[in-house]
Amino acid sequence: MSELTVEVEIPPALLKALNVDLQKQVIQPATYAWAQQVKRVLVKYPPENIGNRPNLGRWYERGYGPRWKRRDGTIGGRKISERLKRSWTVERESNGAIVGSIASYSRWVHSKEFQTRVHARHGWKTDEQAVNEARPAMDRIMSQIMTRLGL
């Protein structure tokens, strides 16, 4: 499974709140909520492109796999799609949350380190981009938690 690790910096005002169980009341809910925001970015597919359309004789059909047009006009294909969009999960951890995908090829699509040029060219977001896009949501989440705790 491809995994994404993100560190969260706790605002100093929270650290001063000695009567608050930071792990249970702040870190776990905040990181889980942020992980959900990161997942929302990663599950969005970019618009289909020419490689997803049957105009060249061979194409990739999302949710199915490679397809091709035979000489007799029928359509062939291999149903091998691992349905990347549906493969993303968020799991709670004691010190945070993990965003992961069970699709074997997810790292080639979404990892900043391993993303192929074709996926970058077609607009697939990397894990780093997803974290950055979700950062404003994390700021709102932390602000809400601090308000709820009276800080």
Sheet order of strands, 65-69 included: 58-61, 65-69, 75-77
The domain tally of the chain equals 1
pLDDT for 96: 79
pLDDT tens by residue, the chain, 151 residues: 555 555 666 666 666 664 556 667 777 888 888 899 999 999 999 998 888 888 778 999 998 999 999 999 999 999 999 999 999 999 988 777 889 999 999 999 999 999 999 999 999 999 999 999 998 988 888 788 778 777 6
Pair of tokens at residue 73: 């006009």
**Host domain of residue 47:** 2-148
Q: How far apart are the first and last CA of the chain?
A: 38
Contact 2, 99 (CB under 8 A): no
pLDDT for 54: 85
| 34: CB partners within 8 A, 6+ apart | 6, 8, 97, 134, 137, 138, 141
Backbone phi and psi for residue 4, each to the nearest 5 degrees, phi listed first: -125, 125
pLDDT for 15: 60
Number of neighbours of residue 67 by Cβ within 10 angstroms: 17
pLDDT for 148: 77
